[in-house]
Each structure stands twice: as C-alpha cells, then as structure tokens.
Amino acid sequence: MDLQTTANEFADIIRNWVHFDNLVAGFTRQISQARAAKTKWETTALEYLAKTNMLHAVIQITGSRITAHTEKHTTPLTLTRLEDLLHDYYSKKAPGSPDETDAIIKHIRSNRIYVSKTCLKKN
C-alpha cells in the first residue's frame, strides 16, 4: 500500500468521523428539544389531573396504561456532600470524639482512580 492510498483512506476515515459527529450532535439537540416538550406536556397533564382530583386515574391509550406516580431519586453523592455528611456524623458522636472527616476526604481524594482516553475532538 502506497502513501497516497493511505492518505486517501485516512481522509475517508476523517470524513466519516465528522459525518457521524455531526449526526450525533443533531440527534442530541433533537433529544433535548423532545425532552423539554415532553416535560411541558407532562406538567400540563399532571396539573389537569390534580385540578380535577384524578391523580389516581388510569389512562388507557394505544395499548399503554398511563398513571401518575411519585418517583424517589437520591441526590448525587459528591465529595462536598460526603464531607458535609461526615461532619454531621461526627458532630453527633460523644463529646471529645475526633472528627476524622478531613483525613477521610483527603484519603478518598488521593486514592481516586482516573482513566484517560485519547479521542478526536472537533473545535
């Protein structure tokens, strides 16, 4: 294989990468817009169900059952939140107990694992 063939193949690889990168960017925008619209319609529907006292209704539509329900999600456990929780934990211990929060957070930060990956980026 000569250098010109390799350069042409590489140009095709880059063209394909750019094409799919643009495709992903377009789909990401569309997904964001669709999620925003879905959230708007969901809010409107829930407001209507609450106003008409039908939050426990079961809505049958095209083979699906739609119900209103409450979801419970935990908040992300960030290092700052972990530090606050540890300070709270140690504050409830017996008086004179050492607060080891700073040492624990320092240990966690110094032992975190980072993974590096080389990738293409379009500016």
pLDDT single digits (tens) 22-68: 999 999 999 999 999 999 999 999 999 999 999 999 999 998 999 99
The predicted pLDDT at position 94 comes to: 87
Q: Where are the domains of the chain?
A: 3-67, 79-110
Distance, in Å, from the CA atom of 20 to the CA atom of 8, rounded to the nearest integer, reads 18
Residue 37, judged by CB atoms within 10 A of its CB (0-12, 13-18, 19+), counts as exposed
Task: Tell which phi-psi region holds residue 62, choosing left (phi > 0), alpha (psi between -120 and 50) or beta.
Answer: left
Q: Could you tell me if 65 and 57 are in contact, meaning their C-beta atoms sit under 8 angstroms apart? A: no
- In this predicted structure, the answer to whether residue 3 has a pLDDT above a threshold of 90 is no
- In this predicted structure, the answer to whether residue 96 has a pLDDT above a threshold of 90 is no
Task: Tell which phi-psi region holds residue 64, choosing left (phi > 0), alpha (psi between -120 and 50) or beta.
Answer: beta
Classified as helix, coil or strand, 84 is helix
Q: What is the mean pLDDT of residues 6-33?
A: 96
Residue that the structure tokens 């817009």 belong to: 33
